[in-house]
Amino acid sequence: MAMAQDRGKGWWDSYGDVMGRPALDLAELESQSVSVRSHELLVVPGLLQTADYARAICEAADGQDEAVDRYVEFRLARQQILQRGTPATCHAVIHEAALHMRAGDPRIMRQQLRRLIEVARLPNVTVQIFPFEAGAYSAISRAFVIFGRATPDLDTVRLERPIDSAVLRDKDQADKYKRIFAKLTELALPPVDPDIRPESHEARDSLSLIQHVMHAL
């Protein structure tokens, strides 16, 4: 699919027939960002989802929707920011609950968890798991995404809510969520490093937890 913009419009505009304005705005925000820092509680971030996992999520939201194929295609198209000419950096802190929250069958979940390990091989992607034993801080801070711009004063925060989302453009608010994210990274397990052999793990880390959940499916 061509990702180039045409006459000032983005590739996302071609999905206007099935996607609402908030989803199109999200794709535009991502395309303009040099970094994406996300905190998710119950699902794997969209930028890191496999096609089958994305489909299972979409079908759970509305199993009767005939546009599921387009929804999935749109979600995967968003991921091109991670491998474009100058890729955005992505740092995801994912609550352990998301690893256990079943989307589709065990095969789909194993593929998705394997995807988290594989995508962490990209030099611009960092994946951390926030374990249950780290406490309630993750739940209190809720799901959000920080979109970093070339000019930090223009950084934007998107708050994820059950039926909608809110976008914060105020610098003080953005700085508040940057501090929250920094705290999340401190409390979360060390990042996934696919190059570390399992027998070399001296302490529990994000990779060992993902592998444990994946093998238990």
| Global pTM value | 0.91
Q: Find the CATH number of the domain harbouring 209.
A: 3.30.870
> According to the model, what pLDDT value does residue 9 have?
79
Note whether residue 68 is domain-resident.
Answer: yes
> According to the model, what pLDDT value does residue 63 have?
60
Average per-residue pLDDT in the chain? 90
Note whether residue 210 is domain-resident.
Answer: yes
The whole domain housing 210 covers 22-216
Q: Beta partners for 36?
A: 90, 147
Note whether residue 103 is domain-resident.
Answer: yes
Q: Which residue, 13, 57, 45, is CA-closest to 31?
A: 13
Share of the chain above pLDDT 70, in %: 89
Note whether residue 91 is domain-resident.
Answer: yes
Residue 191 DSSP symbol = P
Note whether residue 6 is domain-resident.
Answer: no
* Residue 133, number of CB atoms within 10 A of its CB: 9
Note whether residue 124 is domain-resident.
Answer: yes
Could you read off the pLDDT of 18-77 as tens digits, one per residue?
A: 898 889 999 999 999 999 999 999 999 999 999 999 999 988 876 656 789 999 999 999
Could you read off the pLDDT of 102-133 as tens digits, one per residue?
A: 999 999 999 999 999 999 999 999 999 999 99
Judged by DSSP in three states, 31 sits in helix
Task: Quickly state the pLDDT bin for 165 (edges 50, 70, 90).
Answer: confident
What is the number of domains present in the chain? Answer: 1
Task: Quickly state the pLDDT bin for 204 (edges 50, 70, 90).
Answer: confident
